[in-house]
Structure 1
Amino acid sequence: MSSIFSRIVSGEIPAYKIAETDDYLSFLDVFPAAKGHTLVIPKKEIDYLFDLDDDLYAGLMKFAKQIAPAIEKAVPCKRIGVAVVGLEVPHAHVHLIPLNSMADMNFNNKLKLSPEEFMEIATQIRSFL
């Protein structure tokens, strides 16, 4: 069965997309640790980050590096935190999380945002790409 991220890639499930290439996709986490929390994934479904071949891994990190400054401009923060946990969805992904303190990197503290808030944040981030 396809992961939820593969279903987003195929268009079966909607997402608040930030950027997309032939190989990668970024979109807002719908259970964010902070406003602007973005997921960056390879479109190819591979469960474990370190199972990606070298080119796909390097490309994923390069793609994430392009997204992070746009998030930082759109969401006031001191910096963008990067996390790879890899247990919640069996599809390699990188979390980009706006941080003002270490406490902001708390995956147990989920914000509740309206669809309108998600759309506004996604639009703001895209405007800085």
Structure 2
Amino acid sequence: MSLTGSYDDANIFAKIVRGEIPSVKIFEDDAVLAFMDAFPQSRGHALVISKTSKARNILEVEPQVLAELAAATQKLARAVTAALKPDGVVVTQFNGAPAGQTVFHLHFHVIPRYEGEALGRHGGGMADIDDLKALAAKISAAL
């Protein structure tokens, strides 16, 4: 998918926002939702999305929405760091399929990194739901 085009209301994140597909939530408010990545690259990999914008990427997003997402991403990164004590943390965002974007609803990844542990493949194997729930509870408690 290119950097331009129409927003698809059937994308998985839009369905999560509407409650049509379950997610393991960490926190949310009227503007943003933070939840565990079901296909994590490392233990504690989480995502932040807008609940209001139909921006597919950072090039399309409204400035106020971007500010809300940035603040929520920082909040999540701090909570992940406090709860899981990783050796580092990657904050990333992809724009367009050639850049690695697989869901065309603007989102940010917060990926804890642990010394000596390889990073898993983007969109790799699905995580155990009970493990995700336990991680989400630990991260939420650190907010």
Same fold (TM over 0.5): yes
Counterpart of 1:27 in structure 2 is 35
Provide closer, same or farther for how the CA distance between residues 95 and 108 of structure 1 changes in structure 2, counting only shifts above 3 A. closer
Aligned length: 129
Identity of aligned residues (%): 29
Contact 2:57 2:94 in 1 (8 A): no
Query: Which runs of structure 1 show a deviation greater than 2 angstroms over 4 or more consecutive aligned residues?
Result: 100-113
Contact 1:3 1:89 in 2 (8 A): yes
Candidates 107, 111, 130, aligned match of 1:116: 130
Contact 1:34 1:111 in 2 (8 A): no
Contact 1:97 1:105 in 2 (8 A): no
Counterpart of 2:84 in structure 1 is 75
Higher percent of residues as helix: 1
TM-score, normalised relative to structure 2: 0.81
Measure, in 2, the Cα distance between the counterparts of 1:50 and 1:19: 25
Alignment RMSD, CA only? Answer: 2.0
Partner AA of 2:127 in structure 1: L
TM-score, normalised relative to structure 1: 0.89
Contact 1:81 1:105 in 2 (8 A): no
Contact 2:42 2:111 in 1 (8 A): yes
Higher-Rg member (1/2): 2
Which range moved further: 94-103 or 9-18?
A: 94-103
Q: Which runs of 5+ in 2 are unaligned?
A: 1-8, 96-100
Provide closer, same or farther for how the CA distance between residues 7 and 112 of structure 1 changes in structure 2, counting only shifts above 3 A. closer
